[in-house]
Every structure is written in C-alpha cells, then in structure tokens.
Homo-oligomer: A and B are copies of this chain.
Amino acid sequence: MRLLIVMGLLASLAFAPVARAEDGHDLWLRYRPVEAGAGYGVAALAPVAPTPTLTLARAELARGLTGLTGAPPTADAGARDGVILIGTPQSSPAIARLVLPLKAAGDEGYLIRTVKIDGKSATVIAANRDIGVLYGVYRYLALIQTRRPVDSLDLVSAPKVRLRMLNHWDNLDRTVERGYAGQSIWDWWKLPGYSADPRYVDYARANASIGINGTVLNNVNAKALSLTAPYIAKAAALADVFRPYGIKVYLSARFSAPIEIGGLKTADPRDPAVAAFWKAKADEIYTAIPDFGGFLVKANSEGQPGPQDYGASHADGANMLADALGPHGGVVIWRAFVYSHEQPDDRAKQGYSEFKPFDGQFRDNVVIQVKNGAIDFQPREPFHPLFGAMPKSNLGMEFQITKEYLGFATHLVYLGPLYEETLKSDTYAHGQGSTVARVIDGSLDGRKLTAMAGVANIGADRNWSGSQFDQANWYVFGRLAWDPEASSRDIAADWARMTFSNDQRFVTPVVDMMMASRETAVDYMTPLGLHHQMGRSHHYGPGPWVSGGERADWTSVYYAKAGPDGLGFDRTATGSNAVAQYAPPAAACFADLKCVDEKELLWFHHLPWDYRLKSGQTLWDGLVTHYSRGVAGVGEMQKTWAGLTPYVDAERHAQVADFLTIQHREAQWWRDASVAWFQSFAKRPLPAGEAAPPESLHYYESLSFPYAPGI
C-alpha cells in the first residue's frame, strides 16, 4: 500500500505537551513557580524537634519552597545565605533567646525575623507554641506567594480572636444544609476505617494556613446520633488528622439527646439525671478526643428542642452543658439565632429580647454566638443589636460563608466587604469607636474567650467551595477571624495573587471586581435595605410575592411591606421600634431619615413611593435604577473577566466565565421579577430608558425549583 500522497500532506505542527489543567483544588496553596529573576533563592531548612506540628510545618515549608523556587530546599548546615530556622524556645536554644520579642506573639502568634549568622542571612520563624510556628510558615510562604521581599523581615503577628471556627452544616447522610459545593467532605460511612483520605489533610492545611483553629463537624440542626459511640469514634478519627494542624473538633449537640439516646424521659437542664447524662457524655467524648473543643447548640430555634421546652432559660441550658465540659477545658457555643412561633413581635428584635436579660448569667466557658445581623445572613443587614449589649458575656460572631441568600455557587459575590462592613460598624456601646470588631476581639469589654465562626461553604466538589471565587470567602473569613480590623481589599489582593496571578494587570481589575461584587448583588437582589425577598425555603432567585404558609416571618411580604402607600419595614418608634435595641447614638441615626445610610433605608423605614432619595429620584425610580445597576454590574464583571484570559488557565477561566453568564441571566431575572412585583403596588411607570420586564408577573411567580440544592 502506498500512503505517500497522504504523508505528503502532513503539516509540521508539533503537539504541545498536555498541561495539567488547574481545577482549583489547590486553593491558595498552589505554590507555583515564581517568575524567573524574582529573587527568591533556593533555601536551606534547619532541622526541627520531632514534634508532630513542627515536623509537618517543616514539610509544608519544604513543599511550598520547592514549588515556588522550583528546587527543593536543602537541609545542609553549611554557612550560606537563605537558611531558615523554625521552632519554639523549647525546641531550639537559638529561639530560646527570642523570648522577649516572642511575648507579643502570645499562644498562637509567630515572629519572623531576618538574622545574620557569620555574615550570612538567615530567617527565623519562631513561636511560643508549635502551632504558631506552623502559622508563621504559612505566612512566610504567603509573602513569597504574593511577591513580598523576604530578605529583611521583622514581623510579629498574633490572632486577636481566640476561637476561629468553621461551622459545618453537614448532615450525617452527607447532604449539606445550605451547601452548594456537593456532598459533605465528611464520609461518615467510611469513617473511622478510612481516615487517610488526603482531602482531610488538605482541609486542615487550608484552614491552618489562615489560622482557623476549630471546626464544628455537624449541622446545628443536629441529630442525637452524632453523640453515640460509633459517631464519636468517627469524629475522633478526624480529630486525629486535624490535631497537628491546631484544629480542634467540636460537635453540634442536640439538646434532647438525653431522651433520644440516653433513655431519659426529659432533657430538662435542671434535672440531675440530665446533667449526669451530659457529664458522662462529655467524659466519653474526651476519652476519645482529649482536646475536644466543645458543643455548639441551636436551642429553641426553628423547631429545635431546648431548655424553654421545660420552662428553663437559655442560661440554664448553656450552663448545664458548660458544667459538663468545663472540667475538660471545653466550651459551649450557644446560638442567639432564636425566634419564636408564639412571639408576634418583629423577628429582628427577638434575639436581643431573649438574650439581653441574661447578660452576666452565663458561665465563663459559654460563648453566645450571634449572627452578623438580626434576620438571617441577608445580602445586607445592619449589625445585630446584641453586639455591645451584653458586656458581661462572651459574644461571638457568626458569619455565613456559604451563599444561602446570595445566588449559591454560581454568583460571584466576594463577602469580604460584607464582613468588614459589619465589623467596622459602630455600636456606640461605650461611645464612638465601640466597633463590632472590638466586641468580637474582646477589647471593648475585656472578654478573654472570644470567637468568630463562619458557616462553611466547603463540600466534596473538586474546587471545595462550588466555584473558584467562593474560595475567597473561606479565605477572607479566616483572615478576618485572625484580625477583625484587617482590610477586605488587601485580603482580596492576597487571595487573587495566591490563587491566580501576581501580574498587576490581573490583580488590579480582579480586586476591583471582587470589591464591587457584593454591592452589585445587593442591587439586583435587595437594594435600599430590602431583605428576605428570595424564593421560599430554597432561598434561590426572586420571590418578593412569597406570602402565607407556616409563619409570617418566613415570607417576603412580611419584610418588604409593599403597598399602595409605599415600601419598607418601619422599625422606628412608629413601627416595631427595633431601633431602640441599639445604643442611643446608633438608634437615633437609624431612625433619622437624614442620618440613616440609604443602603439600609427600607430596613428601618416604610416610605412612600414618591419619597425623594439623595439622588433626587423618587423611591420607585431609584429602586428600579438600583435593580438595573445590579444587572449592569454583572455585565461589567463579565467584561473584566473576559479580558483576563492571559492570566488564568483555561479550565478555571471557562468555569468562571460560564458562571458569570448564569449570574447575568439570573440578575436580569431578579430585576425583572422584582420590578414586575413592586410595580403592581407602585402603579407608576418605569423611569425613562428602563425596559419593561419581558414576562408577566404571573410567569415569574410560576417558576419552581424542585431540586434546588442545599435544603
């Protein structure tokens, strides 16, 4: 056979080697090589004392430097530039000399300092305890990852918050309530027999790299089963993996467990048999998990059992558990997210009303965990009135990292500005400057047991968080838990550099895009202080028409209060007077139309459709303008991202681009459905240039989403 003719057609094209696509699994710990000539030389690592944490800290340093510099560090002792010494005063005589500067590092912080040895430059990463060394190693690597110079360092960093925690709303069947990143990463079925899944280690690495030191494994809507021996063994297997990374395991505890698994007839916290059950259960857990963190409890909230079922108080319940855990060093984290079926008052007021009276009555090892706002993780909420209002209690922050009300995984919304906005809010509890951040870090009232929790957005999806950019929300949460006064913009820049590229032509537009993304989402979802306008139950997409059903405060109409007369929830003295729960200067501003931020306008005020906004537009016109601005904002993000192909690998770029397309379509849907709905009350024409919704209101109302994730 003669194939000559065909052969003659052969082109000279060569096949490029197949590049390993990036799927986002490496998070911000990619450790890709720095640009040639960036000036980061090959390092040498001094040996460390063989403790579990120091061993893995050194291994992580080696792994990171190998990736970043393209060559493994040596362990050679010869006097040369670039030796890195890590350890604690206990592990190393040289570091023992640093006791004084190490004071500022505290229990978990670190010191990184460039020193000279025989005229050679060396770096010390030191801490008082092993875990601080690991944190310092991640910081040192991050300096290179973000292209900071590392040849003349002298920095100390210590966390301002003691408990920096993830709350997993993960169920025992591996579904995740409000999870949009696939199944739970906890494969309970295969635990404890198979705990060697590398994913568990990578989870611990990622968390340690941003200073997270606690994880609540199971959903706050808890099953008592998670407190039985087989599940304690499963949790213990995970605790063993996480321990060297400084991460303690906690469990959500179902308050009625004494009945369900203890054979008792009651869970009354004042019943000695109940207290004995919990004491024995705590002993059992600590036998399996000596450094168990403690219990997170959702009690008397949304149908969960609690002390009020027996006429006892939150303090009775929390303190009883605290007494069981206290001897082991454990804590009780008691959620303040409560509102009652029987209580007809504004839901925004109920958490404060139920908890404020008990200030000072909780044990020292109890933390009251308060959501950032008084409703439920909306795109925007004013800070929760409990912040600053319980000076004699340990108040912890609960942020939501997963985007329950923010479009799930396919909407790009960087939550840093949301967190920062809350943390920088001034409670005026002790006058100006009494920020929420200072409540959380304990400095305002001298609290020692401080806490910040984030409801995790982590799942078994390859990229962990359901999207590339949702990784930034996990990252910024950890960074702000370490330092609640940090800048969300700076953190976004660090994340973007570590996750994608240090090229300034990438970093600047991406950080701008991220910083604007939250306001964009607020605009297309719930502008001007509107809240809770999402579809029923799944919280996906617009549902301003949601009404009726089990309870009024699970409906949209309850919150928007749209009518022919206008729009918004009057929380001033003429309404629910929720403003009175704030310190007087804050309350006065919220109540005052001249002072209140228009971003929170309809949260606090019911206003006529023709109310004049600062822009000069009427409320109606301005509302429509905000919705459309939100849609346009997503269009801007699409444009920005399309221009960034040179800086991002094809796989991640395509995924983000596709998700932005989905987001744009859905932003338009939000705008159209909301405009159609509110126009049915406002009965006014659209502002000039605004297109009418392409479908009827009936159409938008008819849409259903039977398999929406995360329920």
Selected contact of A173 from candidates B63, B122, B193, B707, CB within 8 Å: B707
User: Nearest CB to that of A117 among chain B residues?
Assistant: B3
Other-chain contact of A66, B18, B23, B115 (Cβ < 8 Å): B18
Q: How far is the CA of A661 from the CA of B192 in the complex (A)?
A: 11
Contact indicator B75/A15 (Cβ below 8 Å): yes
Find out whether the CB atom of A16 lies under 8 angstroms from the CB atom of B94. no
**Cross-chain contact A4 with B75 (CB below 8 angstroms):** no
Each complex incorporates copies of this chain amounting to 2
A window 1-56: CB within 8 A of B: 1-18, 20-21, 23, 44-47
Chain B residues with Cβ under 8 A from A94's Cβ?
1-3, 5-6
Task: List, in ascending order, chain B residues with CB within 8 A of A659's CB.
Answer: 193-194
Residue of B nearest to A651 (CB): B198
Say which residue of B14, B66, B118 sits within 8 Å of A75 (CB atoms). B14
Contact with B along A54-82 (1 / 0, CB 8 A): 00000000110011000011111111000
Q: Do B21 and A198 touch across chains, with their CB atoms under 8 A apart?
A: yes
Taken residue by residue from 184 to 198, chain A's Cβ proximity to chain B (1 for < 8 Å, 0 otherwise) reads as: 000011100110111
- Give residues 278-322 of A contacting B (CB, 8 Å): none
Q: How far is the CA of A570 from the CA of B97 in the complex (A)?
A: 85
The minimal Cβ–Cβ distance linking A86 to chain B, given in whole angstroms, is: 11
Q: Which residues of B contact A5 (CB under 8 A)?
A: 93-94
CA distance A578 to B172 in the complex (A): 43
- Chain B contacts for A14, CB-based, 8 A: 72, 74-76
Of the four ranges (under 10, 10 to 19, 20 to 34, 35 or more), the interface on chain A belongs to 35 or more
Residues of B within 8 A of A79 (CB): 7
- Residue-wise interface mask of A (113-140) relative to B, using a CB-CB cutoff of 8 A (1 in contact, 0 not): 0010110001010000000000000000
Task: Given A14-B72, A193-B658, answer yes or no on A6-B93 (Cβ-Cβ < 8 Å).
Answer: yes
Q: Whose C-beta in chain B lies nearest to the C-beta of A14?
A: B74
Q: Does A451 touch B at the CB level, under 8 Å?
A: no
Q: Which residues of B contact A93 (CB under 8 A)?
A: 5-6
A225 to B706: give the CA distance in the assembly, Å. 9
Contact, CB under 8 Å: A63 / B18: yes
A167 within 8 A of B: no
* Chain B CB within 8 A of A361 CB: no
Q: Which residues in window 238-273 of A have CB below 8 A to B?
A: none
Residues of B within 8 A of A8 (CB): 77
A697 adjacent to chain B (CB < 8 Å): no
Contact B122 A46 (CB under 8 A): no
Taking A115-B1, A707-B172 as contacts, is the C-beta distance between A66 and B196 under 8 angstroms? no
Q: How far is the CB of A412 from chain B (nearest CB, A)?
A: 13
Assess whether A566 is interfacial by the CB under 8 Å rule: no
- Contact present for B194 and A658 (CB under 8 Å): yes
Chain A 208-238 against B: per-residue CB contact (8 Å), 1 yes, 0 no? 0000000000000000010000000000000
Taking a contact as CB atoms under 8 Å apart, the answer to whether B10 and A46 are in contact is yes
- The chain B residue with its CB closest to the CB of A409 is B190
- Nearest-neighbour CB distance to chain B for A404, whole angstroms, equals 14
- Docked Cα-Cα span, A12 to B4, in Å, equals 59
Shortest Cβ distance from A392 into chain B, in angstroms? 41
* Cβ-based interface call for A662 (8 A): yes
Residue from A47, A98, A124 whose CB has the most chain B CB atoms within 10 Å: A47
**Chain B residues within an 8 Å CB radius of A78:** 10
CA distance A665 to B14 in the complex (A): 54
Chain B residues whose C-beta falls within 8 Å of the C-beta of A66 in the assembled complex: 15, 17-18
Nearest CB in chain B to that of A116: its residue: B1
**Are B85 and A658 in contact (CB-based, < 8 A)?**
no
Contacts of A618 in B (CB 8 A): none
Q: In the assembled complex, how far is the CB of residue A70 from the closest CB belonging to chain B, in whole angstroms?
A: 9
> Smallest Cβ distance from A223 to chain B, in angstroms?
9
Question: Is B460 within 8 A of A182, CB to CB?
Answer: yes
A709 interface contact, C-beta 8 A: yes
A94-B2, A193-B658 as given contacts; A72 in contact with B17, CB under 8 Å: yes
Evaluate contact between A196 and B3: CB separation under 8 angstroms.
no
A450 near B: Cβ within 8 Å? no
**Closest B residue by C-beta to A661:** B193
- Best-surrounded residue of A3, A72, A408, A665 (most CB of chain B within 10 A): A3
Across-interface contacts of A47 in B (CB, < 8 A): 9-11
A708 at the interface (CB under 8 A from B): yes
Do A44 and B10 touch across chains, with their CB atoms under 8 A apart?
Answer: yes
A401 to chain B, nearest CB (A): 19
A456, chain B: closest CB distance, angstroms = 17
A83 at the interface (CB under 8 A from B): yes
Residue from A63, A193, A665 whose CB has the most chain B CB atoms within 10 Å: A193
CA separation between A522 and B92, bound complex, in Å?
A: 58
Bound-state Cα–Cα, A651 to B62, Å: 20
Q: How far, in Å, is A218 (CB) from chain B's closest CB?
A: 12
Contacts of A174 in B (CB 8 A): 182, 707, 709
CA distance A94 to B76 in the complex (A): 62
* Cβ–Cβ contact B3 & A122, under 8 A: yes
A655 contacts chain B at the CB level, 8 A cutoff: yes
Whether A46 lies near B6 (C-beta < 8 A) is yes
Q: Contacts of A15 on B, CB cut-off 8 Å? A: 45, 62, 66, 72-75
Contacts of A225 in B (CB 8 A): 706-707
Q: From residue A592, how far is it (CB to closest CB) to chain B in Å?
A: 44
Most buried by B among A1, A20, A408, A461: A1
Say whether A593 faces chain B, with CB atoms less than 8 Å apart: no
List of B residues within 8 angstroms of A665 by Cβ = 193
Residue of B nearest to A188 (CB): B707
Sorted nearest first, the 6 A-B pairs with minimum C-beta distance are A10-B77, A15-B72, A193-B662, A15-B62, A13-B75, A3-B94
Given A3-B122, A6-B85, A193-B658: 19 more A-B contacts, CB < 8 Å: A1-B117, A3-B83, A3-B94, A7-B46, A9-B47, A10-B47, A12-B76, A12-B77, A14-B74, A15-B75, A172-B706, A174-B707, A183-B460, A193-B665, A194-B655, A194-B658, A194-B659, A225-B707, A460-B460
What are 27 A-B pairs at a CB distance below 8 A?
Answer: A1-B94, A1-B115, A1-B117, A3-B83, A3-B117, A4-B117, A6-B93, A8-B77, A10-B76, A10-B77, A10-B78, A10-B83, A12-B74, A13-B75, A15-B62, A15-B72, A18-B66, A172-B707, A188-B707, A189-B709, A190-B409, A196-B654, A196-B655, A196-B658, A225-B707, A460-B460, A462-B462
